[in-house]
Amino acid sequence: MIPGPFIYHRPGSLAEALAVLRTHGEEARPLAGGHSLIPMMKLRMAAPEHLVDLGAIKELRGIGEAGAEIVIGATATQAELIKSDRLAAKLPIIRETALQIADPQIRAKGTLGGNVANGDPGNDMPAVMQALNAQYMLQGAGGERAVPARDFYQGSYFTALQQDEILVAVRIPVPAAGHGHAYEKLKRKVGDYATAATAVILTVSGGKVASAAIALTNVAPTPLLAEEAARLIVGTACDAATLKHAAEAAKAIADPATDGRGTAAYRREMAGVMTARAVAKAFARAKTGA
């Protein structure tokens, strides 16, 4: 349970961090909050020879706005997301989700960038970012590029992030005022990864769903955008039959493993249950403006 030897770097700028990554190639790994990488190093599942701490880089901090988008720096912590009045007003699902991640001690150090960048299927924010149609801003030797959260995840711990790139920010289009949101998470105990979880963003017009996005957490090697489930609720008032159909569509794409959180069959069933609950809650919030 002790990591192997490594050389520690604490660059003061993004350019310096990228230079370290270019110099040492696959032997180097960036470090944000450390709650994913350090445990892997302790288990010798990761053994970087150079650890590049991003904590001193001011360019990666902050929560701001740019036009119709919210821009969150990669090293913004979960605690900062929870405390942000801007996010509470415009993207309340982020606060709701952050409050369900681990515990206050971990949220004080764990970052949004670390949560979304490493491809851990158990992390909560990737599905939320897919539901919000967020863009990940990646900086490397070739400059900056934007990758949609919906295209970023390619397998368990395998993403579109190149070895010499750093995720520097997340850009999120602000949903319509009065939109509905929910993140429903089933877990064994406080602080645990999800047995199954669902993120929902929707709008309502004339008492019916006008638009919707649904994404699933920890029921496959990657977060899953449940497009068919979302399509099934559009144009409806989310009655019991519609919720059942959406749940079945979510279950149809789920591919969980049997583990300590339950059998594959149980976790697939819970993906449907969480989807029905999240859709119902999001719809009720949109109707009441909560």
Q: How many CB atoms lie within 10 A of CB 90?
A: 16
pLDDT in tens, 158-188: 999 999 999 999 999 999 999 999 999 999 9
Q: What H or E segment, with its residue span, contains residue 28?
A: strand 28-31
| pLDDT category of residue 266 using cuts at 50, 70 and 90 | very high
Report how far residue 264's alpha carbon sits from residue 257's, in angstroms, rounded to the nearest whole number: 5
Residue 248 lies inside a defined structural domain of this protein: yes
Residue 2 lies inside a defined structural domain of this protein: no
pLDDT in tens, 85-97: 999 999 999 999 9
Question: Closest Cα to residue 97, out of 70, 62, 129, 69?
Answer: 129
pTM: 0.95
Residue 247 lies inside a defined structural domain of this protein: yes
How many distinct structural domains can be found in the chain? 3
pLDDT in tens, 184-210: 999 999 889 999 999 999 999 999 999
User: Are 286 and 204 contacting, i.e. CB atoms less than 8 angstroms apart?
Assistant: yes
User: Are 137 and 152 contacting, i.e. CB atoms less than 8 angstroms apart?
Assistant: no
- Which of 150, 173, 196 terminates a domain? The answer is 173
Report how far residue 273's alpha carbon sits from residue 257's, in angstroms, rounded to the nearest whole number: 17
| pLDDT category of residue 290 using cuts at 50, 70 and 90 | low
Q: What H or E segment, with its residue span, contains residue 210?
A: strand 208-217
pLDDT in tens, 25-71: 999 999 998 888 888 888 888 889 999 999 999 999 999 999 999 99
User: Are 216 and 196 contacting, i.e. CB atoms less than 8 angstroms apart?
Assistant: yes
Token pair 């149809």 is at which residue?
252
Please tell me whether residues 191 and 150 are part of one structural domain: no
- Which of 173, 196, 215 terminates a domain? The answer is 173
CATH at 126: 3.30.465.10
Please tell me whether residues 67 and 96 are part of one structural domain: yes
CATH at 225: 3.30.390.50
Residue 38's domain comprises: 7-52
Please tell me whether residues 240 and 189 are part of one structural domain: yes
For 67, phi then psi, to 5°, come to: 65, -125
CA distances from 194 to 126, 214, 263 (A): 13, 16, 13
Residue 1 lies inside a defined structural domain of this protein: no
Residue 73 lies inside a defined structural domain of this protein: yes
* 3-class secondary structure, 257: coil
pLDDT in tens, 90-117: 999 999 999 999 999 999 999 999 999 9
- Which of 143, 173, 203 terminates a domain? The answer is 173
Please tell me whether residues 44 and 108 are part of one structural domain: no
Question: Closest Cα to residue 234, out of 263, 202, 262?
Answer: 202
Computed over every residue of the chain, the mean pLDDT equals 95
Sequence-distant (≥ 6) Cβ neighbours of residue 83 within 8 angstroms: none
